[in-house]
Amino acid sequence: MSLQNDTSAPSKNSKTKDKILKHALKLFSSKGYKATTVRDISGSIGIKQSALYNHFKNKDAILETLISNLTSSAIVTLFDDKDTQALQMQGKALLLSLATTFKLIGFDGQNEALLRLLMQEIYRNEHIREIYNEYFYQENVKKLSGVFFGMMQEDIIKSSDPLLLANEFFAPLFFYQMQVSLLKLDKKSTSSVVSMFEKHVDYFWDNIKITKQETLF
């Protein structure tokens, strides 16, 4: 009997910890980290504060765990385990895939809440700023600029500054994603913004691609 209890205990603890993180993320992203108390979190789950402290030392420890989850969010893992040469041969399809990922984040509760938490705490928390700069911005821009450079070498797109192109591609996506999040927060229609992701890709690609006529010169 005791062996069965020992075996099931880690699973139960893990589920409770996951619940704490899930409810904390919801509260942090809606009320704000500072305004949310440990009592709020434990109360939303239906457990005592003492039970919560069995899993996390304090509210800061919960936030730190959530921050670590940012590094595995959809935006951060855009290029994970993908070969640059294979990516560059996808051409416009790659850009459409990236834009779609940004769009879908606005309709995924977990990723949207993580992004909202990031935006709220980025000025207060140095660790969050470091994650944003390194993973959300620098790594993705660096990877895409490398892909663009390869496309230029293969005469797929026009010769230009690949780093500047990468910034120009990503910047509107962050803006549109934020617009979707804000409209949803105010319970307004997102239809006018949703179509902008694909329109951005169309416009961007039409301006950088090399046409058949241009390859003749």
What is the reported pLDDT for 3? 38
Q: What is the DSSP letter of 210?
A: P
**pLDDT > 90? residue 126:** no
The burial of 135, by beta-carbon neighbours within 10 Å (0-12 exposed, 13-18 middle, 19 or more buried), is given as middle
| Distance separating alpha carbons of residues 93 and 89, to the nearest angstrom | 9
Residue 215's pLDDT is: 54
Domains observed in the chain? 2-68 (1.10.10.60), 71-211 (1.10.357.10)
Which tens digits make up the pLDDT trace of 144-185? 999 999 999 999 999 999 999 999 999 999 899 889 988 988
Give the residue carrying structure tokens 């934020």. Answer: 178
Specify the residue for token string 């694909």: 198
Would you state the pLDDT for residue 11? 62
Residue closest to 78 by CA, chosen among 8, 142, 164: 142
The model's pTM is 0.79
